[in-house]
Amino acid sequence: MTSLETIRDLYRAMREKDDAAVHALCAEDIVWQQSAGFPGGSTWHGPASVIENVFRANSRRWTGFAFTEEEMMEFGDRVTVLGHYSGTSPATGKSMRVAVAHVYDLKEGKVTRFRMYADTHPMWQAMTADA
């Protein structure tokens, strides 16, 4: 499987909430780095931590949270994905759409590191009630 195929499979597993596949595609010592300004953003270690603190947390924080891939580029053991997040804040009823880039590093067919770069301002606007 190529690095690009691995990342495509990872997105499928995330969308389908296939935790076993996420574990299989990620190294046990994966480092998952979210933008500092991302709601709940931090650095997470290990697939179980990523599933709970990223995937499940986004589902609790947003109604219909999704990442849509727009362009994928493979550079050997590195894959960069451009796309956008979307969802609706249950607290305010406001929707957001956020431009984002994901950068994955792989080793021996497993994801070892994820870095996210996002314009988080629209997320915070959606989460904030009008004054």
Task: Write down the domain spans for the chain.
Answer: 3-127
DSSP 46: S
This prediction has a pTM of 0.93
Interval 104-116: pLDDT, tens? 999 999 999 999 9
CA-closest candidate to residue 88, choices 56, 65, 57 = 65
CA-closest candidate to residue 110, choices 73, 66, 79 = 79
> Which pLDDT band holds residue 36 (cuts at 50, 70, 90)?
confident
The two beta strands, 95-107 and 63-75, are unpaired
Stretch 39-56: mean pLDDT: 94
Top CATH class, 3-127: alpha beta
β partners of residue 13: none
33 residue type, one letter? Q
Q: How far is 36 from 26, CA to CA, in rounded Å?
A: 22
Q: Two tokens at 71?
A: 């362009």
Interval 116-127: pLDDT, tens? 999 999 999 999
